[in-house]
Structure formats: C-alpha cells, structure tokens
C-alpha cells in the first residue's frame, strides 16, 4: 500500500502528519510524493481561516477528477476541518472515503489501515527512514484561551497537557535516532502543567538529554511568559534564541475585543525583558488586520508598534470570521479591500525591517545547525531561527553544528561559507 499525505495548517498538523506516517510505516505502508503513485491520499486540514478551508476544498476537487480515472484510490480527510465539518465533507464530495476529525487523532492510523485492509507493500521498496535532524513533539493538545476570533478551541477542544514522562521518552527516542533539535509544540506551550511538572521544569529535563543540541518551543502566549522562563532561555545553552510571541494588534481596544488578556504596554515590557536578558534573541510575531471595528487609528497603533519593536519576523493575516467564535457575532466591518491594503502596509514595513536586520549580519560568524541538503546546497538555521544557505557544500556536513561566515543577505535569508 502506498499513501500520499498532504498537509495544510500549522506546525502541529505537520507534526501530526509525521506521527501518522510513522504509525503507517509500522503497518508496512509506504509514503510516496506523487499523487499518481498513491493508493491512498490523505489530506490533513486546517480551519483557522476561511482561506485554509478553501484550499482543502479545491484540493479535494482535484482529487475527484483523479478518482474518476482511478476509482480504487482511497481518499481520507483528517484534521481540524474534518473535525469542524465532519460528514458534511463526505456528503459534498463523493470521492471522500473517510473523514477523521482531530479528536480521533489516536485512532487515525488504525482507521486508515482498516479502510484498506488489502495487501501490504513489497518489502523491497519499504524505506522506513524515521531519522530526522529536527523533530517535533506535541506537549499540549487543545486550547483554553478562546481568543474571540479563533476557531482552534472549538475544533481541538480544551487544553490537555501530556504526560511528562511520555514526552521525555519520545524526545529520548528521537535523539537516539539522530535528532539534533527538538521543537516542542502546543497552541500555548508555556502554560504546560502536568502534576508537579510545569513548562520550565519540563524544558530543563529535556535539555539534560545527551546528544540533543538544540531545543525550541512554540507558540508562546504573552500572558503566560514568566520571568522564570525568560531566565531559563538566557541560561540554558541548548535553548534557541528565538521566541514566537504573537502580538495580534498594537491597539488596546482591539486586544481587549480579541480577548488576548494583555495590553500593548505589557507586551512591550516583555520584549524589553527578553532583549535585556537575552540580547541576541530573535522575536517573531503574528498580526491580524481588519478585526471588527479596527479603525485607522487602531491600525496605526499596530503599524507604530511594528516600527517600534522591529520584529525579526512577522506573519500577518486578514481577519476571517469563523463560525461559533465570539467575534463572528460582531460586524465584519472592515472592507476586504481595506484589509488587503492594511496587510500590504504591514508586510512592506516588516520586509524592510527584516532586510535591515539580515543585512546587518553580513560579515558575522554565526553558529548554525544544518538540516537539509539539495542541489549541492546545505540549508541551516541559526540559533535565532534564521535560514542560512551554504552553496557548493558537502553532504557530510548534514546534521552538524557549524560556524558559518555570512557573505550575503536577502529579505529573510542569509548565505554563507563554513569556517574551518
């Protein structure tokens, strides 16, 4: 049996697709990357914005055509949109054989295997290469925050911290298999609590694993970023100097309407603390433009905040009303054209700042971890999460911590040579 898995959505979905792939390989199922080679097509979906759902629908639409040519191929839709829309997807698309919502996550592999209980793959072609340089480990499922725009608590359910011993074992297993960097995942990782173990003590324990070189975690909610955690980032050498800290807006009126539970001043104070304790820290963020009742003044507050803070990286989204959320009861009163306009203003400024930051890195020697190799190029990441490309490189350097001298920069990326 050969399967293809296509993933839409956040890092968590990517992680869950990986976990599913690993489970399917235990059933001797082989992953392929070409749709025409697949006996099963799995689509892992996202509901966070209407655009993400549109993307899934158009993907399924394309598969419908494929299924007309090859009726034996099985189509499985999993993840957040599968949870939200459930059987409606099956009703609308005759080609879909199975829909598995995210709450069924522990049964994904078994249900998929049951769907196609026929022959297994020829063992000659079975490659079970689970060794990954960077591995993702989910430590919290769901979310309790109910930001007024967000569908995640509705599809993923209430926040549950996973057993710390299971997490540690999983991390150990990855490191034994060659993982150098672990990324801990959760919608709100820093609120982790399992028995006596909180996020700081969990991170401390994971950092003790021999052979682990780097640790990252995301996403951090500003309201739960403790001084203790900032100290730990400053003092624990394995923790990367990068924090993704979604601000969403620079206007206190909008932050309140979003139910983010902090003010802009509080956020600024966090940035100050982080930069004081960890001077080289890279701070990235998420911004929503065109939230209901966002006036020119509110938008300008966000714009000024971005100029003031100078984020190392930024994702900006047009507000998209989601069913069941509190904000969906508010009038979506910023016209689409204006949302687009605000988005491009933010993006231009963010790109300008990012270019300035990366160009100031030219000439410096930075420590990187190499995590990918193609076309004679090594791809690597700095401790602060910046991508560095090393051209004409040797594959033997893959998975290594190296010093690289930065020779050139583009908007978000760096190019350099290994220093020996």
CB of residue 105 to ligand SAH, shortest distance in Å: 17
112-131 residues in contact with ligand SF4 (CB under 6 A) are: none
Among 1, 5, 12, 414, contact with ligand F3S (rule: CB under 6 A): 12
CB of residue 133 to ligand SAH, shortest distance in Å: 25
Strand order in the sheet with 313-318: 242-244, 282-289, 313-318
CB of residue 187 to ligand SF4, shortest distance in Å: 4
Residue 325, interface with ligand F3S (CB under 6 A)? no
Annotate each residue in 312-351 with x if it binds ligand SF4 (CB under 6 A) or - if it does not, as one string: ----------------------------------------
* Residue 288's binding partner out of ligand SF4, ligand SAH, ligand F3S, none, with CB under 5 to 8 Å set by partner kind: ligand SAH
CB of residue 46 to ligand F3S, shortest distance in Å: 3
CA distance linking residue 281 with residue 279, whole number of Å = 6
H or E element at residue 229: helix 227-235
Which is nearest to 149 in space by CA: 289, 302, 303?
289
On the question of a cis peptide bond just before residue 219, with omega within 30 degrees of 0, the verdict is yes
Classify 233 in phi/psi space as left (phi over 0), alpha (psi -120 to 50) or beta: alpha
* Residue 12's binding partner out of ligand SAH, ligand F3S, ligand SF4, none, with CB under 5 to 8 Å set by partner kind: ligand F3S
Classify 368 in phi/psi space as left (phi over 0), alpha (psi -120 to 50) or beta: beta
Q: Locate all alpha helices (DSSP H) within 40-159, ordered by sequence.
A: 50-69, 80-85, 87-92, 108-115, 152-156
* Residue 213's binding partner out of ligand F3S, ligand SAH, ligand SF4, none, with CB under 5 to 8 Å set by partner kind: none
C-beta of 50 vs 403, nearer to ligand F3S: 50
Q: What contacts 348, CB < 8 A, 6 or more positions away?
A: none
**Residues 225 and 245 sit within 8 Å (Cβ to Cβ):** yes
Give me the half-sphere count of Cα atoms (radius 13 Å) on the Cβ side of residue 231. Answer: 7
Among 1, 46, 239, 393, contact with ligand F3S (rule: CB under 6 A): 46
CA distance linking residue 153 with residue 170, whole number of Å = 26
Residue 147, interface with ligand SF4 (CB under 6 A)? yes
CB of residue 145 to ligand SAH, shortest distance in Å: 7
- # binding residues, ligand SF4 (CB under 6 A): 10
Phi and psi angles of residue 41, each rounded to the nearest 5 degrees, phi first: -115, 120
Residue 20, interface with ligand F3S (CB under 6 A)? no
Annotate each residue in 129-168 with x if it binds ligand F3S (CB under 6 A) or - if it does not, as one string: -----------------------x--xx------------
Binding footprint of ligand SAH on the chain (CB under 6 A): 48-49, 149-150, 152, 187-188, 219, 221, 246, 248, 286, 288, 317, 319-320, 322
Phi and psi angles of residue 281, each rounded to the nearest 5 degrees, phi first: -65, 140
Residue 152, interface with ligand SF4 (CB under 6 A)? yes
C-beta of 214 vs 260, nearer to ligand SF4: 260
Which is nearest to 327 in space by CA: 79, 81, 153?
153
Among 30, 41, 42, 48, contact with ligand F3S (rule: CB under 6 A): 48
176-205 residues in contact with ligand SF4 (CB under 6 A) are: 187-188
Q: Which residue has the tokens 């911004």?
A: 287
C-beta of 55 vs 221, nearer to ligand SF4: 221
Question: Distances in Å between the alpha carbon of 66 and those of 112, 115, 173, 341, 392?
Answer: 20, 19, 39, 38, 40
Q: Which residue has the tokens 């990441």?
A: 381
Residues in touch with ligand SF4 (CB under 6 A): 143, 145-147, 150, 152-153, 187-188, 221
């Amino acid at each position: 049996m050969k399967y293809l898995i296509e993933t839409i959505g956040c890092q968590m979905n990517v992680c869950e697709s990986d976990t599913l792939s690993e489970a399917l390989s235990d059933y001797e199922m082989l992953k392929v990357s070409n749709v025409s080679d697949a006996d099963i097509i799995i689509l892992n979906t996202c509901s966070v914005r209407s655009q993400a759902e549109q993307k899934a629908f158009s993907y399924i639409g394309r598969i419908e055509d494929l299924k007309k040519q090859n009726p034996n191929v099985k189509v499985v839709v999993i993840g957040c949109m599968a949870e939200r829309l459930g059987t409606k997807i099956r009703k609308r698309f005759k080609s879909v054989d199975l829909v598995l919502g995210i709450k069924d996550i522990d049964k994904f592999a078994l249900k998929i295997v049951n769907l196609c209980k026929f022959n297994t793959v020829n063992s000659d072609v079975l490659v079970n290469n689970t060794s990954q340089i960077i591995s993702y480990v989910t430590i919290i499922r769901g979310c309790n925050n109910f930001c007024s725009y967000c569908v995640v608590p509705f599809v993923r359910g209430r926040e549950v911290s996973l057993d710390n011993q299971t997490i540690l074992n999983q991390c150990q297993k990855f490191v034994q298999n060659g993982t150098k960097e672990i990324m801990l995942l959760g919608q709100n990782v820093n609120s982790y609590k399992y028995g006596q173990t909180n996020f700081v003590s969990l991170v401390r324990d994971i950092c003790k694993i021999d052979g682990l070189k780097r640790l990252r975690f995301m996403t951090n909610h500003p309201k739960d970023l403790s001084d203790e955690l900032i100290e730990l980032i400053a003092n624990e050498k394995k923790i990367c100097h990068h924090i993704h800290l979604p601000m969403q807006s620079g206007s206190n009126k909008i932050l309140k309407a979003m139910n983010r539970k902090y003010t802009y001043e509080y956020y600024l104070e966090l940035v100050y603390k982080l930069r004081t304790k960890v001077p080289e820290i890279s701070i990235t963020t998420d911004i929503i433009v065109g939230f209901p009742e966002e006036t020119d003044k509110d938008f300008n507050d966000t714009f000024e905040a971005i100029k003031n803070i100078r984020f190392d990286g930024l994702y900006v989204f047009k507000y998209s009303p989601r069913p069941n959320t509190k904000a969906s009861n508010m009038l979506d009163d910023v016209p689409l054209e204006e949302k687009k306009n605000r988005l491009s203003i933010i993006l231009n400024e963010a790109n300008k700042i990012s270019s300035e930051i990366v160009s100031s890195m030219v000439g410096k020697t930075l420590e990187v971890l190499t995590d990918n190799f193609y076309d004679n190029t090594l791809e690597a990441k700095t401790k602060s999460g910046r991508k560095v490309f090393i051209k004409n490189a040797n594959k033997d350097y893959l998975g290594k911590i190296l010093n690289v001298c930065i020779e050139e920069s583009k908007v978000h990326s760096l190019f350099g040579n290994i220093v020996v």
